[in-house]
Structure 1
């Protein structure tokens, strides 16, 4: 009896020990799980704190007054022109009718399709170019007449009659009619008085560019395209000049007389050909910076087109320009 009792007791103790071991193992498992959960919560909290205190990056947004990259490329400032400030049009811009003749104050002034630097560039005007103003915009721009179409210029680059150019003349070249009209100033200082008309030859196939420019360099003789020479050359822009009808050599007695007989019609490679008399007049009387506008028009000009001189190609004097004032000119003897 005692023997069985002792055996039963050992079995009960072993059973209790097994249960205790199992309970201990279960507790360890629970502790591990709880520790993992706490670790996850701690990591998540740390990440949340980092995100909370980290300053977000702000994308760069250019201000309204900063020109876009394309504007900087197409309208780089010259020495006399700062970049135009972009106009933010929050509503419709009102335009009041306004009539005046004004002048560009910058070397190259962009004419735009609307009163904003975001609009299309229609063309350019040179310094001291007379500009017909037809309206004043509420945002600091002027509406102008640009070669027969409506354009807009910033008022920052225009000046009125009180600040007129000191240049005595303004030259207009009508490509369609091959005529040059020189204007002088009226009593108010505007270039409105037709002064002199010249017959010319512009470029074939529209090779002479239209637009407004200012004269620069001058040459008594100038090597031209085609390895020929011109007398009394005045640069308009780039490689385009006013000059005499070409000479085969740098010799006044070596005129290309057949080309001289084309005065009054398109004949050049792009320059504006004149008689020696007219080329010399521009050379002598129109200083550097004289405004020049080249355009197309079939409308009558204020002065009649001079009748071009024609040289008899059988005349021994044909190698001289009949208008050349040189005392050696046989046409003057």
Structure 2
């Protein structure tokens, strides 16, 4: 009887000790959890959010006038502005804004800002702008990446075609342009390049939309026509005859041209 009493008392003692240990362990875990959450809150409150650096757009100068190997930078986007600096061939310059029609706002090495012609700056990307497919009744958008021209009327796609931009050393300028007045013809033969063009329409100085090349007798040059869909021109945008004719017949002066 005495032994049973001893065993009972020992059992009760072990049970009480186990409960105490269990409570101590649970309290310790809860305490650690509170500390951990507190640390996280403190770290979050004290952390500084990452600020995304603004993207920098760079271009390279190439004097497409082929005169003295440099271009002028003006205080406004016009030849009538004052010249505030010059950039030499192959010099890099920061592009800070894409400006209509055919200009970039640039930042010079001394930090001053001015305007340079887009036809003299080749670049992989242009700074963002607000023009889009709804910017005029007709909008023509050519993309170098896929060598594709899309023509929109009142925001709706009405014609799409592969084309050919200029090769890197005689690049097609990127930026915001417009179909120019008095720059349109059914046929022209360029002695310098030994090629004929059908249905040409100008969007900036010597730069045109036109058909794939023809020879002097009016025969299509097959090997050149087969290059549609890849850079191949002297800077103009070549198109199949039907696409060039569509522009010639339908696209009015002042229509927006976006080239990326």
- Let me know the Cα RMSD of the aligned residues: 3.8
Give SS of 1:198's match: strand
Give SS of 1:223's match: strand
Change (3 A) 1:150 1:196: closer
Aligned with 2:232 (options 267, 271, 275): 267
Give SS of 2:243's match: helix
- Is structure 2 residue 245 aligned with structure 1 residue 280? yes
- Is structure 2 residue 165 aligned with structure 1 residue 202? yes
Give SS of 1:284's match: helix
**Could you say which residue in structure 2 is the equivalent of 1:49?**
none
**Could you say which residue in structure 2 is the equivalent of 1:222?**
188
Any residues of structure 2 matched to 1:40-51 within 5 Å, and which?
none
Give SS of 2:197's match: strand
**Could you say which residue in structure 1 is the equivalent of 2:138?**
169
Give SS of 1:259's match: helix
TM-score (norm 1): 0.41
Change (3 A) 1:75 1:183: farther
5+ long unaligned stretches in structure 1: 1-71, 84-103, 125-146, 152-157, 187-192, 296-333
5+ long unaligned stretches in structure 2: 1-71, 83-98, 119-124
What is the CA-CA distance between 1:119 and the residue it aligns to?
Answer: 3.5
Change (3 A) 1:183 1:75: farther
Aligned with 1:243 (options 200, 204, 210): 210
Contact persistence 1:221–1:250 (CA under 8 A):
no
The structure richer in strand per residue is: 2
Deviations 1:222-249 (A, max 9, x none): 2234121100000121211111111111
Number of matched residues?
162
Deviations 1:120-153 (A, max 9, x none): 55876xxxxxxxxxxxxxxxxxxxxxx66457xx
Structure with greater Cα Rg:
1
Q: Give the stretch that moved more between structures: 279-288 or 204-213.
A: 204-213
